[in-house]
Amino acid sequence: MHIIDRRLNPRGKSLVNRQRFLRRARDTVRGAVRDSLTSRKIREIESEGEVSIKTGGITEPTFRRDSHSGNRDHVLPGNRVFRTGDRIKRPPSSSGGGGSEAGTGEGEDEFRFVLSREEFLDLFLEDLELPDLAKRRLTGSDSFDIRRAGYTTSGSPSSLSVPRTMRNAMSRRLALRRPTSAEIEDLEKEIARLEAKARPTEKDRATLDALRERLVVLNRRRTLISYIDPIDLRYRRFEQERRPISQAVIFCLMDVSGSMNEHMKELAKIFFILLYLFVTRCYRHVEIVFIRHTDSAQEVDEETFFYSTETGGTRVSSALEEMLAVVKDRYSPLDWNIYLAQASDGDNFTRDNVQTTALMRNEILPIVQYAAYLEVSNPPSGGVPGDDRATSLWQAYSEIGEAGGKFAMRRVHSRKDIYPVFRDLFSRRGTAAHVS
Amino acid sequence: MNAPASTLLYSGSDWNFDTLQRIYEACENIAIGELDLNVYPNRIEVITSEQMLDAYASTGMPIFYKHWSFGKQFLANDLLYRKGLRGLAYELVINSDPCISYVMEENSATMQTLVIAHAAFGHNHFFKNNYVFRQWTDAEGILDYLEFARHYIARCEERHGQAEVERVLDSAHALMQQGIHRYPRAAPRNLNAERRREEDRRAYEESTYNALWRTLPNKKPTTRETRDMRQKSLGLPQENVLYFLEKSAPRLRGWQREILRIVRLIAQYFYPQRQTKVMNEGCAVWVHYNILKRLHETGQITEGAFLEFLHSHSNVLYQPTYDSGHYSGHNPYALGFGIMEDIERISRNPSDEDRTWFPDFAGCGDPIDVLKDAWANYRDESFIAQFLSPHLIRKWRLFKLDDREKDDEVRVAAIHDEQGYQDVRRTLARHHDVASLDPDIQIVDVDFDSDRKLMLEHTVRDRVLLQREDARQVLQHLADLWGYQVILTEVDAADRKTLNSYAIDPRPGIFY
């Protein structure tokens, strides 16, 4: 008998088959993935997830007997009440299947499975053909830190480590038994004492000779073994450390006053998701802050952000103020890459526009990497293009202009507009010159 | 009384390879020494749960050709497993020589003991001795054949493109259950030789190929063949549709025929498993139960381990009653093991009733001998028909319902009483006869003189017709392979009246 450990065999033996299945069902799966755009939460978008598709194209038919026609008999266990000849009302939907019908795979009109994160993103982004965009620009700006990294034997005098050098010297002196000053002083005292004797004996003279000899040896030893030697020197070592800018925060600002309908919110949501996907590809750690506003603004969770409606006036500057407050509180512009995505239908109190523009230009644009304003409107009806009349917010923001490539504004009517607009917004600096 | 610790095979639930070896030897002593089983050499492979999912997806085979439907299987199992809706089987065993059993690393030591007893001895003995397996499967050659099949299909993909090959496989899979010879012929198949035969066949075709022949004008048939002569020359009627297509479809190319052949032979290899599920599982459960019981009696496993075993054992044997809501047919493990335990009881300790029903072995005192005979010489249908006792029919309170299409009510035809035993037993046996569960579809004729229509007939028993949408799709595959129109008529078995018919044309551009 052999026991074989197969656990270390290459994994994913069925990977090929899995890929073939996905390829075969690609169109349906892609549709399902795309649909999940609107149902998934933004944070879930990138995780692995369950997808269900209709089985069209992936059924595997076989000849099987129709379970609704014909005469059949069943043998069942557990009779407690029946006698031969009893008649029983047929149970609805022929549930008493008996052994012969078990597992004929009926009602298999939906197929559910889990896609891995990579598979999901592949299908999602394949559909969108998300280009490399401005990745390089965003990730190229690593900063450097100087950090101590132990000791070295060479360096500039300014980085000499005195304690470390002295410690080395002392251990060397101890190891090589360099005579201390105290030892020599004691010896000299002894010699002086013997020399001072008026009538030295024969023994004293002999001792004196030996002591003198010893003093010579010790003094020679002292000159040979130096107090501090070049090999004792130690210098502090410094290293430059690369510190990638690894965190980003996205501010999602949305007008939720009564004029924003579900259609507009959906457009906004898709836009925010795209932005999230894009930024998570550039940074290791991404946070999202949702701020909604009517005539006053507050930070909310995702659920509230997308699914609640408020009524009231609109004061866009309130949202910008709230954002600045959050930045001040938690996201120092020194440590965080800040992105702003703002969606609105463009209605604003006329007298608020000046304030809004000023906040945007003077306070926000200096601290963010990028700010995008997305104006959402109702789909064009009956072939008539959407209402392109400039809204008050649009007019106000138009004054800001491109602001060195940091600010962009676009208007969308329907889902299919979003991707081109997104691509336009995030393509390399200088290529996003025209306004749709 | 607890045995001294030194005789214990293991303690706790952890195991390592030494433990496995000891467990295996202890099981072997009982299986071979006491139960007198006859098995193929064993090979035990430790795998992870992910690898178990992989193995599931390709019908349990360690080597298989590539096809999207295995990926679909994988994804479906994977989801159920992740959601905890379905645990994985603890073991998977392959009818090969040596017999390969997979055990999962997550199993506890007790579960490994159970699995080794169940698969490496129970299933293994059954595979080696049962006549259906002996007749139809080639344990020695199967792994080599699968290796050949995988290479052959991969080579076809290189030569003809993945999409082309996939179409043939899709169509062949749809007809897989119609690719079985249900009745034995003289020579058992040797799958090892199959590979050599294919190679010879192609070499011959290549060596005799002469492009000139293609330019010869088609000869007009001088006389109209009679239907009888034609049927005889084509070997009709033929129930093995894949076999017929492989031999006679006019427009298929050589490699396409070979793929049909591969799918057909694999279907044939699995056919015995479908015919003997109740017996095979029953045998494995009976063997593991007796081995574990002996291990416990001889103090080689602890009380705790034995309790853990009993827990899994009774889970496997759970049979809900028809009205419980969990009911989904008869549990083959419970049915098979129940009958085998009953055989033991009748052999040792029969009642008068048993003596009348089972005069051959009631009170013979040697149940293992009776069981070994049953395992070797029966399949599910004949096993139930022979061994299901009145005692069990009463114990399980089996009853039979008649369900007539035209009635609103179902009638209780038989219950567990004197009058009912035979009827219940016969009906339950028939429900385990795969040949009568699969629809009886045969190719009856080909119109070779005019438009090469292929005629099939479904002999309808009890007025149970084919499920329409599926039938239409399978026939579409069949028509594509055949290349011309296919007609399927559903004919009542009793009065030969036509109940339904399909006529499907091939889709242009699929194969031709």
- Mean pLDDT over the full length of chain A: 78
Chain A contacts in chain B segment 316-345 (CB below 8 A): 319-324, 327-330
The predicted-structure confidence for A331-346, as pLDDT tens digits, reads as follows 888 878 888 888 888 7
- Residues of chain B in contact with residue A97, where contact means CB-CB under 8 angstroms, are 328-329
Looking at residue B188, its pLDDT comes to: 53
- At B254, the amino acid letter reads G
**CB-based contact A63 B177, cutoff 8 Å:** yes
Looking at residue A146, its pLDDT comes to: 80
Tell me the backbone φ, ψ of residue B280, rounded to 5 degrees. -65, -50
CB-nearest to A6 from B46, B427, B474 is B46
Looking at residue A147, its pLDDT comes to: 81
Looking at residue B35, its pLDDT comes to: 93
pLDDT greater than 80 at residue A371: yes
Burial A67-103 (b: 16+ CB within 10 A, else e): bebbebbbbbbebeebeeebeeebeeeeebbbbbbee
Chain B contacts in chain A segment 4-63 (CB below 8 A): 4-7, 9, 11-14, 16-24, 50, 58-63
Looking at residue B374, its pLDDT comes to: 95
Put simply, whether B193 touches A (Cβ < 8 Å) is no
**CB-based contact B105 A7, cutoff 8 Å:** yes
Looking at residue B187, its pLDDT comes to: 54
Categorize the per-residue pLDDT at B150 as very low, low, confident or very high, splitting at 50, 70 and 90: very high
Query: What is the β-pairing status of strands B91-94 and B440-446?
Result: unpaired
Looking at residue B2, its pLDDT comes to: 46
Q: Percentage of chain A surpassing pLDDT 90?
A: 8
**CB-based contact B328 A97, cutoff 8 Å:** yes
pLDDT greater than 80 at residue B194: no
Mutation pick from B173, B322, B443 vs chain A, by most beta carbons of A within 10 Å, is: B322
Lowest mean pLDDT among A382-396, B207-221, B488-502: B207-221
Looking at residue A403, its pLDDT comes to: 61
**CB-based contact A23 B68, cutoff 8 Å:** yes
**CB-based contact A5 B46, cutoff 8 Å:** yes
Chain B contacts in chain A segment 95-134 (CB below 8 A): 96-103, 111-114
Selection from B497, B486, B478 nearest residue B172 by Cα: B478
Q: Percentage of chain B surpassing pLDDT 70?
A: 92
pLDDT greater than 70 at residue B89: no
What does the alpha-carbon distance between residue B258 and residue B199 come to, in Å, rounded to a whole number?
11
- Residues of chain B in contact with residue A75, where contact means CB-CB under 8 angstroms, are 330, 398-401, 424, 427-428, 431
Nearest CA in chain A to B437: A100
pLDDT greater than 90 at residue A238: no
Categorize the per-residue pLDDT at B118 as very low, low, confident or very high, splitting at 50, 70 and 90: very high
Q: What is the mean pLDDT of residues B365-379?
A: 93
pLDDT greater than 90 at residue B280: yes
What does the alpha-carbon distance between residue B122 and residue B132 come to, in Å, rounded to a whole number?
16
Asked if residue A68 lies in contact with residue A94, where contact means CB atoms within 8 angstroms, the answer is yes
DSSP alpha helix (H) spans, B254-351: 254-275, 277-297, 303-316, 332-348
Highest mean pLDDT of the ranges A23-32, A67-76, A272-281: A67-76
The predicted-structure confidence for A41-71, as pLDDT tens digits, reads as follows 766 766 677 777 776 667 888 998 887 778 8
Q: How close is the nearest chain A Cα to the Cα of B225, in Å?
A: 32
Nearest CA in chain A to B459: A65
Put simply, whether B59 touches A (Cβ < 8 Å) is no
Selection from A289, A290, A338, A349 nearest residue A316 by Cα: A349
Alpha-carbon distances, residue B7 vs A262, B235, B296 (angstroms): 73, 64, 11
The count of CB pairs under 8 A between chains A and B is: 257
- Residues of chain A in contact with residue B401, where contact means CB-CB under 8 angstroms, are 73-76, 88, 96, 98
Q: How close is the nearest chain A Cα to the Cα of B71, in Å?
A: 4
Categorize the per-residue pLDDT at A145 as very low, low, confident or very high, splitting at 50, 70 and 90: confident
Partner residues linked to A288 by β-bridges = A250
Looking at residue B473, its pLDDT comes to: 92
Lowest mean pLDDT among A258-267, B27-36, B44-53: A258-267
**CB-based contact A70 B48, cutoff 8 Å:** no
CB-nearest to B71 from A19, A72, A76 is A19
Q: In what order do the strands lie in the sheet with B42-47?
A: A2-5, B42-47, B99-104, B91-94
Q: How close is the nearest chain A Cα to the Cα of B175, in Å?
A: 7
Query: What is the β-pairing status of strands A247-255 and A285-293?
Result: parallel
Q: How close is the nearest chain A Cα to the Cα of B354, in Å?
A: 21
Nearest CA in chain B to A83: B415
Looking at residue B3, its pLDDT comes to: 44
Put simply, whether B106 touches A (Cβ < 8 Å) is no
**CB-based contact A73 B400, cutoff 8 Å:** yes
Asked if residue A275 lies in contact with residue A339, where contact means CB atoms within 8 angstroms, the answer is yes
**pTM exceeding the 0.80 threshold for the entire prediction:** no
Boundaries of every domain in chain B: 5-130+276-309, 331-430
- Mean pLDDT over the full length of chain B: 87
Q: What is the mean pLDDT of residues B310-331?
A: 88
Asked if residue A411 lies in contact with residue A267, where contact means CB atoms within 8 angstroms, the answer is no
**CB-based contact A84 B419, cutoff 8 Å:** yes
pLDDT greater than 70 at residue A106: no
Q: What is the mean pLDDT of residues B173-183?
A: 88
pLDDT greater than 50 at residue A96: no
The helix/strand/coil state of A129 is coil
Looking at residue A45, its pLDDT comes to: 67
Categorize the per-residue pLDDT at A94 as very low, low, confident or very high, splitting at 50, 70 and 90: very low
Chain A contacts in chain B segment 5-24 (CB below 8 A): 17, 20-21, 24
Put simply, whether B71 touches A (Cβ < 8 Å) is yes
**CB-based contact A13 B51, cutoff 8 Å:** yes
Q: Which domains does chain A have, with CATH numbers?
A: 21-58 (no CATH), 157-236 (no CATH), 245-426 (3.40.50.410)
DSSP alpha helix (H) spans, B358-488: 367-377, 380-387, 390-396, 421-431, 434-437, 468-482
Lowest mean pLDDT among A227-236, A414-423, B279-288: A414-423
Nearest CA in chain A to B393: A77
CB-nearest to B416 from A5, A79, A98 is A79
Q: What is the mean pLDDT of residues B405-426?
A: 88
Chain B contacts in chain A segment 131-190 (CB below 8 A): none
Asked if residue B129 lies in contact with residue B372, where contact means CB atoms within 8 angstroms, the answer is yes
Q: What is the mean pLDDT of residues A346-354?
A: 80
Looking at residue A158, its pLDDT comes to: 87
- Residues of chain A in contact with residue B414, where contact means CB-CB under 8 angstroms, are 84
CB-nearest to A17 from B66, B327, B411 is B66
- Residues of chain A in contact with residue B178, where contact means CB-CB under 8 angstroms, are 63
Q: What is the mean pLDDT of residues B365-378?
A: 94
Q: Percentage of chain B surpassing pLDDT 90?
A: 50
Asked if residue B457 lies in contact with residue B444, where contact means CB atoms within 8 angstroms, the answer is yes
Mutation pick from A2, A3, A108, A111 vs chain B, by most beta carbons of B within 10 Å, is: A3
Which value does ipTM take for this structure? Answer: 0.80
Chain B contacts in chain A segment 76-95 (CB below 8 A): 76-80, 82-90
The helix/strand/coil state of B404 is coil
CB-nearest to B66 from A16, A58, A101 is A16
CB-nearest to A61 from B174, B402, B404 is B174
Looking at residue B359, its pLDDT comes to: 92
Put simply, whether B422 touches A (Cβ < 8 Å) is no
Q: What is the mean pLDDT of residues B443-462?
A: 86
**CB-based contact A75 B417, cutoff 8 Å:** no
Looking at residue A404, its pLDDT comes to: 65
Q: Percentage of chain A surpassing pLDDT 70?
A: 79
